Amino acid sequence: MHPKVLLDACAELVRLTLKFDHPADAIVSRFFRDNRGLGPRERATLAETVYTVLRKKLLFDHLAPSGSGPKERRLAILGFYGPGDFLRSALTEQEVNWLDQCEKVSPNDLMERHRHNLPEWLVQPLKDQLGEEFWPMAETLNLGAGLDLRVNTFKAKRADVQKELAKAGIKAVNTPYSPWGLRIAGKPALNKNDAFMRGEFEVQDEGSQLLSMLLDAKRGEMVTDFCAGAGGKTLAIGAAMRSTGRLYAFDTSAHRLDAFKSRLKRSGLSNVHPAAIAHERDDRVKRLTGKMDRVLVDAPCTGLGTLRRNPDLKWRQNMQAVEEMAVKQAAILQSAARMLKSGGRLVYATCSVLPQENEAIAEAFSAANPDFVPLSAGKVLAELKVEAAASLCSGGDNGQLYLRLWPHRHGTDGFFAAVWQKK
């Protein structure tokens, strides 16, 4: 594609995305469907340009006024993903001079907001939690996320999958914490890989794998993934159960569960039973009261732990949304807890980094439910032979009560989890 045409397409996609009327990934996917002639390189340039603009929006908004032409074009130029000489061949002389001046701007000369590129409502909560680590965290969020895989241990061994990927020219290293995980540099096409098509691995962040491990589901048990979504954790739990027992995958989105069915078929698991529910008080849920050995509540949340891969969320959320979400999370957790039998294990998890969605929910639940005894997430992970389990946790008297993952510390998305056992 001619550089000028590609830059114009980038500018148009930036314009559509910055309306913030839909999630960025949905807008990008629709743009690709509407422009089916785009090749893999063009798609990569378009997507990465848009995500760079979203990650560094405050900085680019600061630099853009000094340029000329439509704002979305200036933003696309600043965020363009590709060789500099390719980009410059699409620019006017005036634009080249402007871009050269922008690239000379030193980070040390910028205001804080133009360096961290975070909305003000989010900055202070992160500084309160992280202190001097705020800046490493902010820098990490602006770099984008790597690619983690979870080996389906019901079908394959990690070492064997690693070798097969190597034969396909894909270098994969073991994830540092999850015994199921492999980490890949770059974003190679995997959906046509033989091992993937055989269901021997799935794309899944290492942090999400660790959440599934915390449940520690056993063969033959009755287990519920209460907010299954796209089913990534469901598949991990089902593999840990060796396709025995009964694993319910509940979600309020029938569409997402339908999309999950192809992944389920590929996995080879026969113990998973997806079911759409209307709400957390659905009759299907009530009928299972007191029958479950284990329940995972991967609650709906703001998703602010996933800003490396979903940077639009920081511009589409606010503190009011956080507060509203916390009410919903507390209600879902309370309802799901009723499904546990005596001795059963409950795990509450989010992909948020805010204490309002995490520790506050867990502490309120513990206070209101004395028949649920908090377990040390660090101890649970150590018993499961997770490397450096203590470094993955925080809270409580010994700093081990909750799983608390941070992108800059652990190389994962930001995750939280609390664990209880019912008396």
Domain ranges of the chain: 3-117, 147-203, 206-422
Using CA atoms, how far residue 164 sits from 147, 200, 201, 203, in Å, is: 17, 11, 11, 16
Q: Measure the CA angle with vertex 36, ends 31 and 41; round to 5°.
A: 85
240 phi, psi to nearest 5 deg? -65, -30
* pTM for this model (two decimals): 0.95
- Note whether 3-117 and 147-203 share their fold: no
Task: Enumerate the active-site residues.
Answer: 351
Asked if 208 and 349 count as a contact pair (C-beta separation under 8 A), the reply is no
**Amino acid identity for residue 415 in this structure:** F
- Sheet (strand 172-174) strand order: 172-174, 181-184, 147-151, 201-203
**How far, in Å, CA of 226 to CA of 292, rounded?**
11
Asked if 379 and 400 count as a contact pair (C-beta separation under 8 A), the reply is yes
Q: What is the mean pLDDT of the chain?
A: 95
At the fourth CATH level, the homologous superfamily of domain 147-203 is: Sun protein; domain 3 (3.30.70.1170)
Enter the CATH code of domain 3-117. Answer: 1.10.940
- pLDDT tens, N- to C-terminus, the chain (423 residues): 899 999 999 999 999 999 999 999 999 999 999 999 999 999 999 999 999 999 999 999 999 998 888 999 999 999 999 999 999 999 999 999 999 999 999 998 999 999 999 999 999 999 999 999 999 999 999 998 989 999 999 999 999 999 999 999 999 999 999 999 999 988 888 988 999 999 999 999 999 999 999 999 999 999 999 999 889 999 999 999 999 999 999 999 888 888 898 999 999 999 999 999 998 888 988 999 999 999 999 999 999 999 999 999 999 999 999 999 999 999 999 999 999 999 999 999 999 999 999 999 999 999 999 999 999 999 999 999 999 999 999 999 999 999 999 999 999 999 999 999 999
> Which 3 state secondary structure label does DSSP give 344?
strand
Q: Is the dihedral of CA 102, 105, 110, 116 positive or negative?
A: positive
Enter the CATH code of domain 206-422. Answer: 3.40.50.150
| Residues above pLDDT 70, as percent of the chain | 100
Asked if 363 and 313 count as a contact pair (C-beta separation under 8 A), the reply is no
